[in-house]
Amino acid sequence: MNDVMQTNGSRLRTVGTWAAYGLFFSAALLVSLLLTFPNRQLKSYVEAQARAAGYPLRIGEMSLRGLGGVHLSDVDLTIPAKGRLAAASPGQPTPPSPEPTILHFDDLRLDVALMAALDSKLDLRFEAEVGEGRIEGGRARVDGKTIDLQIEGIDHLSLDKLGVGTKALAFQDKLTGQLEGLVSGDVKIHWG
């Protein structure tokens, strides 16, 4: 009986040693990847892809957060104006084209669902800070032409600092002008 306990203890020690080695090397690989990852090149790639899609993006700083997570600061996303151009009367100058909306985020944290990305779908969770306001518990899912957006908490978000205040309603034919104020609450949108 004593020999059986020694044999089992020896096997357990061997398995534990190999498990510890595997855990150590996995942790070392993850730390090395995070410390040596080319963040600047990834930032340039993301900005170029957004520009190619028609949404110019400027990112101040970018860093990885674990697997599938990214931390961005000082972000400006340009959303082109798609309103109709007013026709000029004969002999009158052409009216100016509508100005794009530039959304600004002081701090943006994104977590991408990697399994959905393998299936060519976008499923990400996000949190943002704009001035003194916050967006918490955000989730965006894009499947083909369908977009589902859910935000659990919006707390004292300044529309003007976000960039929504200037001509935010210009995409509508009958609603134009300045949108100002602080927003709090939650949002759920299904579009498409």
- pLDDT of amino acid 180: 65
Q: How far is Cα 158 from Cα 104, in angstroms, rounded to an integer?
A: 11
pLDDT 10s digits, 149-178: 898 988 888 877 887 765 555 444 444 555
Is residue 57 within 8 Å of residue 44, measured between CB atoms?
no
pLDDT attached to residue 88: 54
Pairing of strands 133-143, 146-158: antiparallel
Q: Identify the pLDDT of residue 32.
A: 81
Q: Would you state the pLDDT for residue 38? A: 82
Dihedral sign, CA of 157, 109, 171, 188? negative
Q: Identify the segments of the chain with pLDDT beneath 70.
A: 1-9, 82-90, 94-98, 165-181, 192
- The residue with tokens 């089992």 is 8
Cα 123 to Cα 143: distance, rounded to the nearest angstrom: 9
pTM listed for this prediction: 0.67
Q: Are 125 and 139 in contact (CB under 8 A)?
A: yes
Amino acid identity for residue 84 in this structure: R
